[in-house]
Amino acid sequence: MAGADRSGTGPARVPGTEPIRVAVIGLGWAGRQIWLPSLAAHPAYRVTAVVDPHDSALTVAAELAPGARRCHSARQVDREMADLAIVAVPNDAHTVTAEQVLGHDVAAFVEKPVCLSVAELHRLHTAERRSRGRLLAGSAGRYRADVRTLRSIVPTLGTIRLVELSWVRARGIPRQGGWFTRARRSGGGALVDLGWHLLDVGLDLIGRPDIAQGTAVLSADFVTDSRWDANWRGPGARRPHTIRSSFVRSQAHSGRGRPCGTRRA
């Protein structure tokens, strides 16, 4: 991403000599509340472009990233503008946006879920192979302070045979009625949204073994139990669900592990 220009047609960038130029693509909640403030506060990065089809979002972003170029399309982001692009658009646009960025030889950091199908995975693989930029998958959970502390004590626990993971979203579904709650655009429900984090953290804690089998189960058998109620956003919506996900370590590794995740909303 920040090494010598492989084509020989552009300026070589030497790591450590100047901040990495970043374009933030997608100025929804994640772009405004997470990426722009974090990048602005870090001396190793400089936001050089903000991208969103809506002028109102660009206006708000300009206050967080003064001097950044305002763009309406990811197609406008090239190597003259940025070294790295943060792809924080709705899930169904992850693949096409990353393809556009990589097509201009800019590295793409794609928020989770990176893609929604095997076909999209192959498209991204092809786009990266043809690009001078790298494709980076967003998985932030493993870098949380509590997870890093837990990882530090795992070696003292002996042989890990079972890992159980859970995530409780006490405040219900965010932005109800938007793209997040539409399966075609989001890619699914809790397994795609929070399950990504659970599996990423669980695998990281046990050394990222090869996976021989994966299962996922959706249940709502406790729907009438008031102890599992949640504050859903929007009028009259109270439908709690439990989501479980599990995976089994490959037989090539010693022992078997079955990290499981449960999400209660």
Q: Which two tokens stand for residue 244?
A: 């479980």
Q: What is the pLDDT of residue 14?
A: 53
Domain range list for the chain:
20-137, 141-264
Q: What pLDDT shows up at residue 35?
A: 95
Sequence-ordered strand ranges (E) for 52-141: 69-71, 84-87, 107-110, 135-137
Residue 262 in contact with residue 163, Cβ under 8 Å? Answer: no
pLDDT at site 177 = 64
CB 237 within 8 Å of CB 229? no
Topology of 20-137 in CATH?
Rossmann fold (3.40.50)
- Taking a C-beta distance cutoff of 8 angstroms, is the pair 247, 217 a contact? no
Nearest to 85 by CA among 150, 29, 131: 131
Residue ranges with strand state E in the chain? 20-25, 45-51, 69-71, 84-87, 107-110, 135-137, 164-168, 211-219, 242-249, 260-264
List residues bridging with 213 in a β-sheet.
248
pLDDT computed for residue 24 by the predictor:
98
pLDDT at 160: 87
CA 246 to chain CA centroid, Å, is 20
Residue located via tokens 């690009």: 131
The tens place of each residue's pLDDT in the chain, 265 residues long, gives 333 333 433 334 555 579 999 999 999 989 999 999 999 999 999 999 999 999 999 999 999 999 999 999 999 999 999 999 999 999 999 999 999 999 999 999 999 889 989 999 999 999 999 999 999 998 888 888 999 999 999 999 998 888 888 777 666 666 666 776 677 777 777 777 778 888 889 999 988 888 887 776 666 665 566 665 555 444 444 454 444 444 444 444 433 333 333 344 3
Given this model, what pLDDT does residue 104 score? 97
Does 141-264 match 20-137 at the fold level?
no
Two tokens at 32?
Answer: 């405004």
> What is the distance between the alpha carbons of residues 261 and 265, in angstroms, rounded to a whole number?
13
Q: Are strands 260-264 and 242-249 parallel, antiparallel or unpaired?
A: antiparallel
| Rounded Cα gap, residues 24 and 138, in angstroms | 14
Which CATH number does 141-264 carry?
Answer: 3.30.360.10
